[in-house]
Amino acid sequence: MSDHQSEEQQVEALKAFWSENGNAIIAGLVLGFAGFIGYGYYNDNKLQQEINTSEAYQSVVELAAGDEKTYREAGEKFISENTDSSYSALTALALAKEAASHKDWPQVETYLKTAIEKASNPGMKAIATIRLARVQIESTQYDNALTTLATPLPESFKANVEETKGDAYLKQDKVDLARTAYQTAIDASEQSASPTLQMKLDDLAQHIVLAK
């Protein structure tokens, strides 16, 4: 995955990749290790556990197109039964997205905090952290959002972090801080800044001029 992708694109790509290729990758590992010391050992070891977890995760994913209540219950059950698996973080992210479609922000926040706790991958943790801050902004928890964004995250997410900070500052009418954050986000963009981000900065500049 490219560091230039948005965090939304990154998590969707990760989910799609595992959905399409996860079983094949695991099967390849099984076959490769089987030739080295025998399949029997791995059949009773961690690799078999990962295969079982992968299959359980796939079952939860397939429920996403069905009944929402069943999907949530299955997802929560999967997380509780696979607390040490990276799949639990992906499941929590998916549940958060589903709850967001109903604007159930307290539930979204709960799921995102679970994703942050369970994520072993720094990128996945960053995605959940930025989403949590955006939900907190939506819920008018501006100071909480800024505290969330103070968590050290990979440099590749700096533009997303600074843009979200700018949104929080703007909601607090801290125009100078918002402008600085938006400009920092643009400067941190390894490719050209998104039109939306540039529009935010331009609108803010116009607001400052009119206020004088």
Q: Note the helical H segments in 38-157.
A: 39-43, 46-63, 68-81, 86-100, 105-118, 122-138, 142-149
Q: Is the pLDDT of residue 32 over 70?
A: no
Look at residue 66 in the predicted model and tell me its pLDDT. 62
* pLDDT tens per residue across span 19-29: 555 544 444 44
Structure tokens at 20: 């399409």
CATH dotted code for 1-151: 1.25.40
CATH 1.25.40 range(s) for the chain read 1-151
Structure tokens at 100: 């967001």
Look at residue 1 in the predicted model and tell me its pLDDT. 42
Look at residue 145 in the predicted model and tell me its pLDDT. 97
The pTM (predicted TM-score) of the whole model is 0.70
Nearest of 46, 22, 107, 21 to residue 72 by alpha carbon: 107
Pairwise CA distance, residues 94 & 140, whole Å: 23
Structure tokens at 3: 């560091």
Task: Give 85's DSSP letter.
Answer: S
Structure tokens at 136: 């907190």
